[in-house]
Chain A
Amino acid sequence: MKKKYLLFGLTAWLGIAAAFSQEKLKSKDAIPIMSWGGISQSEVSADSYKKLKEVGVNIDIAFFSNADAIALALDAAAKAGIKLMISCPELKADPEKTAERFKNHPALEGYYLGDEPGKPQFQDLTDWAKRIKTIDKKHYCFVNLFPNINSNQSKFGTKDYKEYIDYFDSQFPAPYLSFDFYPVVDGAIHPRWYENLEFFAAKYKTDGRPFWAFALTTSYLAYSDDAGQPTLNDFYQLYQTYRPEKVFVHDVPTLGELRLQVYSNLAYGAQGIEYWSFRGFGSPIDAQGRRTVVYDRLQKVSQEIQNLSGLFLGAKIVSVGHTGATIPNGTKRLSKLPAPFKLLETVGEGALVSVLENGKNSFLVIVNRDFKNSMKLIIDTDASVNKILKDGTIIRADEYACATEVEPGDVAVYMFPTVK
């Protein structure tokens, strides 16, 4: 009998052992994570929104058939602690009245106006947004823009992508820009994805225009002749394997793929993340409203990025470079390291390496571009550099060996004092 008490004593003692708290990266706010249609109109309830919140989403776009359904959804979302970007026919038919109805609701995030418009639609969208703004100056209107992959530009309605984005930005009153690019196709990275991120990062750096970017959280088939999907002609042509009959597949997202997308976006300065979508084969929630394995993967990634929100939220881009035998189209090779770094080498496919500045601290952010294999990383720093662990813990970098590994699509982060 006594022996049993002894072992119980050991475990009980372990339970009350003094905890040493470690310094962690602090942030006042959470990174906005917005789902597209996470909860459908027929599923609206506080429990449904709670399920969405538990996967890490803090904003959902509600595409509903009438304003009354929006009202119910806002009440349910408020109970779950989620905000909504709202869309209903009344918002178009009578923007002032609809904005008046919802503008004081605590769960209102903003007004969804459109997805992937071309230049011909910009004026209407702008006029619409202005009408809403006359009633509600507190909330913003949201439009998502095309990625840069449409080689024929017919959908842009402009001479090139730059004019498409710049013109929209000069007209439409939005606090940030948004574009959707689903880069993992047939087990490879689309060759123009990083080029698109370079574009928005440059705009953020030079014009101070923040942007939000996407991760594909479902599986879907991209038919080469499906006008409803983003055309992948550029991709086919670049790889010279164009076969019109072939169906290209965005497979069920793996942890490595999800990490690669969100960490690349954030390393390029994205100030918000969007998940598309929550419906269909391979999505986080299945047709019966049940969680899938993608739900768990997404939950993990969402938690991870919030652990690093103190790094990414409000950060300014100092530089972005790439390593590897070949670097992606439109990117620059990493050629210079911040002074506290003596050595940085990667083994394998290569990395995205960005330097972000956030107040007194600067950060070297290293993303493994390989979403299937770990990457060896050799890094040597001076004593001023700290390593930020995945849970946000701050620790002296020189407590780690110079050689380490970064998991598929994952990130390694180092912090050093900002020098003015």
Chain B
Amino acid sequence: MKKIALMSLLTMIVCARVMAQEKVVSDSPLPIMAWANIPIEETNISRFKELKEMGINVNLSNYPNAQAMQQALDLAQQVGIRMVTSCPELKTAPEKAVTQFMNHPALAGYFLRDEPVRKDFAELGDWARKIEAVDSNHFCFVNLISSVHTTKTEALGTATYAEYVNTFSREVPSQLLSFDFYPVLSDGIHERWYEGLEIFSTEAKKMGKPFWAFALAYAYNELHPIPTVAALRLQMYSNLAYGAQGLEYWAYWMPESYRSAPIGINGKRTIVYDRIKAVNKEIQDIAGVFVGSKVVSVHHTGTIIPRGTTRLSTLPWAIKVFETEGQGAVVSVLEKKENTFFVVVNRDLQKSMTIVISGDASLQRVLKDGSIVNADVYDHSTEIEPGDIAVYLFPTKKQTGI
């Protein structure tokens, strides 16, 4: 009898009606690309599936010949991911190679070059134009050098970092811009990171192009610790708060002599694989906040704000009170048609940040799973975990009568 009572209890619980909540929706997932470089001998369906299961939907890998690239694209199609890729033939005979691959459904774009300097732009421009002449449906991908020194740019070949980005954008046909900055160091956050995001996002906006940005997925030297969930969140949520329309991880498969990539040198998953998978899931749950949104403003709070950034001094109309305690936050306002998002990222990698927020009746909160609830169902005071995000939503046009 006791068993029957428990059984009926459990059955009731399962049969209980599920309450559906409104969620923030996105027409498409956010592109999340891994610089995968899965070894050629491991290029198979289960490894591509494993990559996808980490939350990656674009695989950047290069191949020793066109045949290997074809096989990889076929695998990507079977798994349901896309590729930014290249092979030597793309350089030696671009028109022929492009003709071979341009109709492959798994092709996202052509990888041309990583971290070029000013003197490389002309050649890259010629190459990209040759490709575009045959295939204007896929983009040419070049990743730009980070903004570690925004003024000491002799090595880049330009007077400033902004000029480096701007010149590239004008001289090399490119539909999106990408740059790599690995800001999480063993002793804190790189002092130039947010300055770099400011410059890059501003230049991209001027050119009317979306940009993609990175998180470091492993400890590639002693300066960089093994990525934690907080470190991954801080990088990705800061990128998104600045308007990034795509995210990248470097790297995926561990190269010799490095530490703790998602897939170890022995081909086995590490703890970083699980951490990235968890963060990617979180990001896609709220992708609707970011995909297609326009940056209205980005500011910072805290006693000391990062170099090159500006302090938050005014609030959007729907928010009456906003305060942060501790190290401070990135605060951005993103607009997407009738909705505007107030995005708060805790800059502290170690400690939770208390925020106090109060808005008018139109203010809603976007929970981590994408659910939308009225902001006033929450206490005014709440906490944001290290590197994590809080998102609020209000109408782009001020409601009359509110």
Contact = CB atoms under 8 A, between A and B. Distances in A.
Nearest to A79: B17
Interface string B344-372: 00000000000000000000000110000
Nearest to B382: A293
Contacts of B2: 140, 174-175
Interface size class on chain A is 35 or more
A290 B377 contact: yes
A137 B240 CA distance: 57
A313 B137 contact: no
Interface in A258-314: 271, 286, 288, 290-293, 295-296, 313
B368 A296 contact: yes
Contacts of A138: 5, 8
Interface stretch (B110-118, B269-277, B314-322): B269-277
Contacts of B42: none
Interface string B226-267: 000000000000000000010000000000000000001010
B16 interface: yes
B50 A7 contact: no
Contacts of A140: 2, 5
B31 A399 contact: no
Contact of B21 (A54, A81, A271): A54
B268 A399 contact: yes
26 contacts: A2-B136, A6-B137, A7-B176, A9-B137, A10-B31, A14-B31, A17-B82, A18-B78, A20-B79, A28-B14, A30-B10, A32-B10, A81-B19, A109-B12, A175-B2, A288-B379, A290-B378, A290-B379, A291-B377, A293-B382, A399-B268, A400-B268, A400-B269, A401-B266, A404-B271, A404-B274
A83 B13 contact: yes
B12 A11 contact: no
List of 7 A-B pairs having minimum Cβ-Cβ separation, nearest first: A81-B16, A17-B80, A18-B80, A11-B28, A29-B10, A15-B28, A175-B2
A106 B12 contact: yes
Interface in A51-102: 51, 53-54, 58-59, 79-83
Contacts of A32: 9-10, 13
Interface size class on chain B is 35 or more
A79 B16 CA distance: 9
A322 interface: no
Interface in B1-43: 1-3, 5-6, 8-14, 16-19, 21, 27-31
Contacts of B11: 29
B27 A12 contact: yes
A401 B264 contact: yes
**Most chain A beta carbons < 10 A, residue from B109, B137, B379:** B379
A13 B49 CA distance: 17
Interface in B169-209: 175-176
Nearest to B245: A7
Given A20-B79, A29-B11, A7 B175 contact: yes
Contacts, number: 149
A389 interface: yes
Interface string A28-48: 111010000000000000000
A176 interface: yes
Interface string B135-158: 011110000000000000000000
Contact of A176 (B6, B29, B78, B274): B6
**Most chain B beta carbons < 10 A, residue from A32, A176, A293, A403:** A293
Nearest to B16: A81
A19 interface: yes
Contacts of B10: 28-30, 32, 313
Contact of B291 (A11, A53, A291): A11
Interface string A143-163: 000000000000000000000
Contacts of A54: 19, 21
A349 interface: no
Contacts of A390: 274, 278
B333 interface: no
B169 to A, nearest CB: 12
A398 B11 CA distance: 36
B376 A82 contact: no
A50 interface: yes
B268 A398 contact: yes
A139 interface: yes
A53 B17 CA distance: 10
B19 A399 contact: no
Interface string B43-79: 0000001101100011000000000000000000011
Interface in B116-138: 136-138
Interface string A380-420: 00000000011000000011111111000000000000000
Nearest to A252: B383
A123 to B, nearest CB: 21
B144 to A, nearest CB: 18
A237 interface: no
B168 to A, nearest CB: 16
Contacts of B108: 10, 13
B269 A20 contact: no
Contacts of A82: 16
A191 B378 CA distance: 35
B137 A286 contact: no
A286 to B, nearest CB: 5
**Most chain A beta carbons < 10 A, residue from B136, B245, B268:** B268
A170 interface: no
A22 interface: yes
A3 interface: yes
Contact of A17 (B57, B271, B382): B57
B29 A15 contact: yes
A382 B383 CA distance: 43
Interface in A291-346: 291-293, 295-296, 313
Nearest to A376: B271
B79 A18 contact: yes
A399 B269 contact: yes
A138 B273 CA distance: 48
B82 A13 contact: yes
